[in-house]
Structure 1
Amino acid sequence: MAQQAMQPSAGRRKTTGSLFASDHRPHPLPDILLWVTAVVGVTAFISGMFDNLHLLSSWAGLIGILTGLYGQFISVTTHERFALIMGLGSSAVGFYLGMAHGGLFGGVLG
């Protein structure tokens, strides 16, 4: 009887602690790419609203687009893909606004 209490029940799932791992397996690289894309995307989106921050928004947007695309390529679960698309969208909007306000090298190289 004591041994039965020590063994985990067969119906209980083992969780990994990741919010985005719906298959209950760890995905460290897609999770890192997801968070980098999200943080850089929000930075690009917010800084894209200001004309004088075009260097920050265009470079942050470009980095967010590249990390988001690679994250989409290696992602495993739908949760990861959804969050990556949100980060990609905000990165793209920030990138395009930064390009419209002066671009990647606007005013620095000429």
Structure 2
Amino acid sequence: MAQAARPQHGLLSFLDTDGKAHPRENAIAVATLLIGLISFVTAYFPGLHLVSSWTGLIGMLGGAWGQLISATTGERFLLIIGLGASGVGFYLGMAHGGLFGGLLG
């Protein structure tokens, strides 16, 4: 039970529940969450469909990659939330004009 008593330090210490540092995986999880949040928020403004659709696409691709390489449950938790928000942003952005709406025509 010595591992249960070790102190956890840092803002994102809940991501490293196995006792090892995973800086790359943690960075991908946090980036997916932030990109998903941007995509989700901008999706509710039809004029920002380019931002929401592109950030949604990037968030979904990054989140899918993060799921493949994630090491802990905390990372997967953030990735799923980011993937969901990215998906909503992507699909609403596509409904409002898409990835290239207004640029090609």
Asked if these proteins are the same fold (TM beyond 0.5), I'd say: yes
Q: Alignment RMSD, CA only?
A: 1.5
**Match of residue 13, structure 1, among 6, 26, 29:** 6
Q: Which has the higher helix share?
A: 2
Query: Greater Rg, structure 1 or structure 2?
Result: 1
- Counterpart code for 2:6: R
CA apart distance, 1:35: 1.1
Bigger mean CA offset, 94-103 vs 13-22: 13-22
Of the three residues 37, 43, 57, the one matched with 1:62 is 57
Aligned length: 101
* Uncovered stretches (5+) of structure 1, i.e. residues with no partner: 1-9
Q: Which residue of 2 aligns with 1:35?
A: 30
Q: Secondary structure at the match of 2:102?
A: coil
2:95 pairs with 1:100 = yes
3-state SS, counterpart of residue 57 of structure 1:
helix
Unaligned segments of structure 2, at least 5 residues: none
Q: Percent identity?
A: 53
Q: Counterpart of 2:79? A: 84
Q: Counterparts of 2:73 and 2:14 in 1: how far apart (Å)?
A: 12
TM-score scaled to structure 1, two decimals? Answer: 0.86
Q: Please, what TM-score do these two structures have when normalized by structure 2?
A: 0.90
